[in-house]
């Protein structure tokens, strides 16, 4: 049985949705998915802690801990230990910048397992510095494949050294059925939702869901 480990610092609702879908897809083909999260919580995103039962196996390297409070050396060592216990055929790794991600990549190279980069970054997200990009390229080239957010992300990861044939644009997925079902419920009984902000009027409107930080460019959204 092929065993795929999907690694993330901490699973929020969107990650769990993707893991459930991946688990169902793998199970139909005789595979197995293990979700590996480094910690139970983090100091950046304010998602609620999702501790319910899941159809896939879920492993936490540091149960009850906050990701940002864990020493990099401890994170690196523990990630290696947990992967030794799971012993997957392939690991899908969240990016390359955190100690747990670098440890997962090192484990794959040492054990000769497939390393898959998961990335939503594109080249124009920030100012790029040549020496830093060269270091990044050396790390990214160690991955066997990549799953990215879209065409700009694909172009960037190809520039960093992963062959285009091994780059797939399926990363930014959501649970379509969840939103379809919610929309049907709202259309069937619109008065039930009139108390929500912005719904007192029938005029079309936009919904933006993101953190209130400068790089999300909310000023430009409001101007548009």
pLDDT category of residue 129 using cuts at 50, 70 and 90: very high
Residues 150-172 have pLDDT tens digits of 999 999 999 999 999 999 998 98
pLDDT category of residue 100 using cuts at 50, 70 and 90: very high
Q: What is the pLDDT averaged over residues 89-118? A: 97
Q: What is the pLDDT averaged over residues 181-208? A: 86
Is the model's pLDDT at 102 over the cut of 80? Answer: yes
Q: What is the pLDDT averaged over residues 44-56? A: 87
How much is the pLDDT for 126?
85
Is the model's pLDDT at 46 over the cut of 80? Answer: no
Is the model's pLDDT at 210 over the cut of 90? Answer: no
Query: Does residue 107 contact residue 128 with C-beta atoms inside 8 Å?
Result: no
Residue 144: phi and psi, rounded to 5, are -90, -25
- The DSSP-derived string for 74-107 is HHHHHHHHHHHHH--SEEEEE-SSSHHHHHHHHH
Q: What is the pLDDT averaged over residues 83-91? A: 98
Query: Does residue 2 contact residue 32 with C-beta atoms inside 8 Å?
Result: yes
Give me the percent of the chain exceeding a pLDDT of 70: 100
Q: What is the pTM of this model?
A: 0.88
Is the model's pLDDT at 53 over the cut of 80? Answer: yes
How much is the pLDDT for 166?
98
Residues 15-30 have pLDDT tens digits of 999 999 999 999 999 9
Average pLDDT, the chain: 93
How much is the pLDDT for 202?
77
How much is the pLDDT for 205?
82
What is the b/e burial string over 67-106, where b = at least 16 CB atoms within 10 angstroms of the residue's CB?
beebeeeebbebbbebbeebebebbbbbbbebbbbbbbbb
């Amino acid at each position: 049985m092929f065993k795929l480990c999907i690694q993330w610092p901490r699973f929020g609702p969107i990650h769990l949705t993707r893991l459930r879908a991946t688990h169902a897809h793998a199970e139909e083909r005789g595979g197995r998915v293990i979700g590996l999260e480094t910690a139970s919580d983090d100091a950046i995103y304010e998602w609620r802690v999702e501790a319910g039962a899941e159809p896939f196996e879920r492993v936490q390297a540091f149960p009850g801990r906050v990701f940002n409070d864990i020493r990099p050396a401890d994170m690196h060592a523990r990630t290696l230990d947990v992967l030794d216990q799971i012993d997957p055929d392939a690991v899908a790794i969240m990016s390359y910048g955190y100690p747990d991600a670098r440890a997962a990549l090192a484990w794959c190279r040492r054990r000769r397992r497939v390393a898959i980069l998961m990335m939503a970054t594109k080249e124009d997200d920030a100012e790029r510095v040549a020496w830093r990009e060269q270091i990044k390229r050396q790390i990214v080239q160690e991955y066997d494949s990549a799953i990215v957010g879209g065409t700009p992300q694909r172009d960037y990861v190809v520039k960093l050294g992963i062959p285009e044939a091994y780059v797939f644009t399926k990363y930014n997925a959501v649970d379509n059925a969840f939103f379809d079902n919610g929309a049907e419920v709202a259309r069937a009984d619109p008065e039930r939702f009139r108390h929500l902000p912005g719904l007192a009027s029938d005029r079309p409107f936009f919904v933006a869901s993101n953190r209130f930080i400068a790089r999300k460019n909310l000023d430009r959204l409001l101007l548009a």
